[in-house]
Structure 1
Amino acid sequence: MPSASTSDNILVRVLKSVFFKSATGKAGRYARNAGSLLELLGKVLNKTNALKGATYDSLREKVMLLVRLLKAYVKGEYKAVPWKTLTRIIAVLLYFLSPIDVIPDILPIVGLTDDIALVVWLFNAIGDDLDAFREWESKRNTITIG
């Protein structure tokens, strides 16, 4: 695993990259189009499910939370997500899907380092919104008897 300073350097490169800026520019269009967003989520699920091994457990878990949030948003079940948070999530997932980015995904071992750094950054940036979604999700999944 890269050191904290290496991860910070990678993150700065990612956030300033043409790849992430392009993804950010597209995010609003996806957010406004349920069909496009659902198609994006399908591709994200395919890539996430293809990540094998315990090394990627944390990344898979984080990405799956983002997918669940966006699915609930698209279905109209969960609307308490700020626009900025919504577009940040979509931009990160668009970047995650791209095989050509700051560190190309085809490179063994290091190929997903930039994607991981970006997902960790996102979770830090929108942590309160993710906590609110988790709380909503847990209440929704709780069965009340009596």
Structure 2
Amino acid sequence: MSTLAQRGLQISKNALFSAFIGRASRLLTKPLKIAAVLNEAADKLVDKNSKDNKFVQLFHTGHTLVRLVRNYISGEYRQIHTTTIASGLGVLLYVISPIDLVPDFIPALGFLDDLSLISWFIGKFHAEITRFQEWEQTSAQTLTHADSAQGDRSLPAVAELGHS
């Protein structure tokens, strides 16, 4: 039996997925359409009934992928290859598509090909995903620090220091 990542590799070589990569490449110039794709993919990846099953990590990584593409499109994060973003967006398009190798209406199996493709993406682009997650943590700490400095009323305002 093949692993999820091996199955994802097979799907990534399929002509259907190649069509999604082509569509993703064309979408990269249309941020509003990408926003709709990201919202739909994030909604689909949410599993409200999950109680820490073995696929939770894949769901979290799927959400990381959504955030990665969103931050790339907004221009906040650009330390990644455009081909990686196109592949990631292609994966998300595949996830939200009703037309894929195993239809989503088939219980359990319907999402297995989606999870397989996400697993393949994780394996192939692990270093870039890790770098993005580190950037997210650093950015969050910087924002938290800046917000707390602005919100600290014990510090004098600039005008109070005579620097108006």
Give the TM-score range, shorter chain.
0.7 to 0.9
Q: Which residue of 2 aligns with 1:82?
A: 81
**Partners of 2:4 and 2:115 within 8 A in 1:** no
The answer (yes or no) to whether the contact 1:11–1:117 under 8 Å persists in 2 is yes
Listed as ranges, the matches of 1:1-146 within 5 Å are: 3=1, 5=2, 7=4, 10-49=7-46, 52-54=49-51, 55=53, 56-142=55-141, 143-144=144-145
Residues 23 and 94, structure 1, Cα contact 8 Å, conserved in 2: yes
Deviation at 1:84, TM superposition (A): 1.2
In structure 1, what residue type is equivalent to 2:115? I
Comparing 120-129 and 17-26, the one that deviates more: 17-26
CA distance in 2, matches of 1:46, 1:69: 16
Question: How many Å separate the matches in 2 of 1:62 and 1:106?
Answer: 23
1:6 CA displacement:
5.8
Aligned residue for 1:111, secondary structure, equals helix
Inter-partner Cα distance in structure 2 for 1:9 and 1:128: 18
TM-score, normalized by length of structure 2?
0.77
Give 1:99's aligned amino acid.
P
Taking only aligned residues, the RMSD between alpha carbons, in angstroms, comes to 2.0
1:12 Cα offset (Å):
4.8
Distance 1:6 1:128, change over 3 A: closer
* Cα offset, 1:17, TM superposition: 2.6
Runs of 4+ in structure 1 displaced over 6 angstroms?
none
- 1:123 Cα shift? 0.6
Structure 1 Cα separation of the partners of residues 62 and 5 of structure 2: 20
Give 1 or 2 for the bigger CA radius of gyration. 2
